[in-house]
Amino acid sequence: MTQELAGRVAVITGASSGMGRATALALASRGAKVALMARRQAALEEVAKEIRWGGGEALVIVADVTDQMSTDAAALAVQREYGNADLVFNNAGLMLPGAMGTQPISEWERQIDLNVTGAMRVIQSFLPQLEAAAAEGRTVDLINTSSITAQNIFGYFAAYSASKAFVSHLSRHLRVELGPKNIRVAVLEPGITSTELQGHVTFQGARDWLAEAAKSIDFLKPEDIAETVRFLVSLPKHVNLQQVVIMPTKEA
């Protein structure tokens, strides 16, 4: 395995499962030091253990990205342990489909607090480090996880889709703000991927739709997303692939 990411310091939110976990393993296997952020400590420790078995370096940071003190403390912990981060995979998220007329407002709030405000908190907490790393001449990446729902239309996904459209549009604007500082900004818009995400869905219509889709579509695997992130961050420094839509071949 090449060590093409040796010297890089990667922060990954949502690293305890799914896309974040797979990406942490992929980046670490190419030589990056990885800071693993999520709320479930035991799951993070398992990921860290796997990385260390493979000879990589990992730092476990239990953090709730809906809490600014938590994201600020995480940024300090990364800086103390590894120096300034030069790669943030801003990926933690939650999907709760529901009917607009009856969905509990708390479910809208949880998605907005995490997918929208949480993503922005992470960016604000780590931006000084990304800027410092860029000023040192290092390659610097901010990658935000949005979703195909930011573009395509799905019934009963209005609140989730809107939160992800926010992430996509935020990313496009940030690229203009941060590109001149030599910080690349990319947004990932995946289609259905086999992770724990679908396990949180309680709305029956969406559960039925997902179960039906699983009969005819080979969903993406978290490793497919990890390989895409690895590709993005391995491009030459002057190349910013700004938006990636990645779909299961059979998903419309």
Dist. CA 79–CA 179, nearest whole Å? 23
- Residues between 136 and 195 with contacts to ligand NDP, criterion CB under 6 A: 145, 147, 190, 192-193, 195
CA distance 59 to 62: 10
CA–CA separation, 151 and 124 (whole Å): 26
- Does 20 interact with ligand NDP (rule: CB under 6 A)? yes
Q: Output the six-digit token pair for 119.
A: 């993503």
Q: Does 95 bind ligand NDP (CB under 6 A)?
A: yes
232 near ligand NDP, judged by CB under 6 A: no
Q: Which of 35, 61, 65, 127 binds ligand NDP (CB under 6 A)?
A: 65
Torsion of CA 244, 171, 153, 221, to 10 degrees: 40
Largest CA distance in the chain: 52
Q: Is 248 in the site for ligand NDP (CB under 6 A)?
A: no
3-state helix, strand, coil in the chain (%, to 5): 50, 15, 35
197 part of the interface to ligand NDP, by CB under 6 A: yes
AA letter at 78: V
How far apart are CB 238 and ligand NDP at their closest, in Å? Answer: 28
Per DSSP, 48 falls in state: H
Residue 116 binds to ligand NDP (criterion: CB under 6 A): no
* Cβ 65 to ligand NDP shortest distance, Å: 4
Among the candidate windows 38-46, 78-86, 96-104, 201-209, which touches ligand NDP by CB under 6 A? 38-46
- Name the strand (E) or helix (H) holding 208: helix 204-216
Q: Is 14 in the site for ligand NDP (CB under 6 A)?
A: yes
**Which residue among 89, 108, 126, 160 is the active-site one?**
160
Contact 110, 96 (CB under 8 A): yes
- The answer to whether 160 is a known catalytic residue is yes
Given 8, 11, 16, 96, the residue binding ligand NDP (CB under 6 A): 16
Q: Report the interface residues with ligand NDP, using CB under 6 A.
A: 13-14, 16-20, 38-40, 43, 63-66, 91-95, 114, 145, 147, 190, 192-193, 195-197
Active-site positions read 160
